[in-house]
Structure 1
Amino acid sequence: MSDLHDLPARVFSLIESGVVAEFSTVSAAGIPIDTPTYYFPADDMSTIDLATGLPNPAKAERVRRTSKVGLLIEGRPEEPVVVIRAHGAVRDSDIQANAIRYLAETGYEGISHGITWEEARKAVTYWSRIIIENKPERVYWWDSHAALDDPPQVWSAAPDTVYPTSDPSPARRMKRSAWPVRPWQDVAGEAVEGGTPAHLSVLDEDGFPLPMRATSFELTAEGFRLAVPTGTPWRLRGRASLTFAGFRTFVGDAGADGGDRVLFRVERSLPQHPATLDTKQVLQPSEDTLAKARARLEYEAERRGQSLPVIPADPPPRTRIALIRRARIASDAPITGITEEHGNRRT
């Protein structure tokens, strides 16, 4: 096989119609960091693309440094589970074009909390986007969630596949996060009570950061004890991150717990963006959030020698695959981080 179109129809359909992927990148310290992210494949399915806000370029910086990335795409229990090894490429040489594409792929209704487009288009700190293209190198899949304890099926790209490279690096360094870091024990207690699934990311033998859902977890004095599917084909050892839908994320080390469980020893929790705690702040940030985001936005645009994007008076037409995704959002399929409770599940 050499093209995603050669995958079984059910697997291809899930990748094409999916909304959120666990997206793991590698930090400068060699830690896999999982950031669940809205994704949008290219129309020809040659790459699986996603974006990060220009004020918050950390995962793009990680991809620019180390192109190896990992994605996990899940759906209903009876649908396939797909893990993708890919090489990422950062696209930030035209922030204006990125903003228009991001709007065409995602729309605004799902995060609007009822405001009009006239109001939503003012959120330039959100619509200013860096796009990351991810070209698959290997795909693992299981036919359903119930099959996760069995070995996966595998697709590999052709040996002569050419992978995209990132746009040139901008001048100077990005600034450190403006958001607070809280004691991990406090954040962990909220994670347990939050009811969201846990996903563990580790590096495989080739250095790809790969995420996998924990089937169960419990809080310990050191971190978390996890049950992970036995069909996972990479070793669940070493530097790792654990995220709960991106709302609460921890870094540390994974290792055996003397049985069939994985012990994730927490080193620290990661900063929490205010919008992960209150999704209204995505398009309607507080005065403090807006001030910090605006300062970072202007700095990052200046690093790239670009003006801030002009957000159009009318949103662009949705893409072909965006309409397919919209049907999934309108269904009862589970989507990480997109729920009625969070007020962001609209079409």
Structure 2
Amino acid sequence: MIKLAPIVRALGPRARVVHTGQHFDDSMSRTFLDQLRIGDPDHHLEVGGLTRGAQIGHATVAIEHLLLETRPDVVVVQGDTNSGLAGALAANAAEIPIVHLEAGLRSFDRAMPEEHNRVLIDALADRCLAPHETNARLLEAEGIAADRIRVTGSTLRDALVDMLPGDDARAALRDDLGVEADRYVLATVHRAENADSEDKLRTILTQLGDLELPVVLPLHPRTRARAAEFDLGGLLDRLTVVEPLGYREFIGLAADCALMVSDSGGVQEEATIVKRPVVIVRNSTERPEILGTFAHLVPVGPGIGDTARELLTDVAATHAALAALPYPYGDDATARCVAAIAELVGGR
């Protein structure tokens, strides 16, 4: 939703939004639609709460039926979600051109369902819109023809800059949580390999709780359910746990934190915009171009706390060093993406 929002707004009435319902919790859906000014989706499917295979299968059937009925000029899918793969499969079956926003990202970790999704989408896409030259080279190495690839940059900065609260609003957010600017850690944990593993989730929460600064943890519905199942409430009590945040609130807190700890792909890129370091709690990343600068890859274990404490040694110096670094994912990304879409459909 976040990365497609600038494109939806730029296309205006030409865009038709399909919401699969993969995220069916209001805090993961309705709030984002409203804050990103996408409005009500034109079509809403109900595939949330199913297994991965069932989600992809049900969404593919439903989207194909919709495409055969409405015959759009092009289908745009984003990222590596089950919804994205379903959209690509349905468009391929309906013989409608496919544009993949955020193409060419690779973690080379086949244990990640997202890796399978993104590889399959790129194989199907008529236009692969890569956020970085690194991604374009990876696509070419996989045999994807150069005429199917466009390096557009990432629309995330367009979305984030448009949404970032001002100083007063950010101060109010911090006051509500009882934290001070540059004196708290913002954390997110939601990926299946972390949230669904009792040992990993226990380790992550323990490492966060041992940090010297307060840790703000917007708790994903999946993680909340697993923490209750694994009886980890005592570890959550050591953190400032809040309900999932709207995008505006999340980036407002990200902009003023000391550092972030996350297993999210999007948070890694958001760190490059708000100029804050992020400890990536994963075995691999699809954004290697920011490792060692904005991002620090740490598998689940005591290294989480060790790396965080090292980054917190001199917060002001760390932030100043990152502030001097350019955004690595280009300028005018939304305009470049819209131009690539128009090029594919002959300007329609």
Which range, TM-score by smaller chain? Answer: under 0.3
Q: Which has the higher contact order (CA 8 A, sep 6+)?
A: 1
TM-score of the superposed pair, with normalisation by structure 2:
0.26
**More strand per residue:** 1
TM-score of the superposed pair, with normalisation by structure 1:
0.26
**More helix per residue:** 2
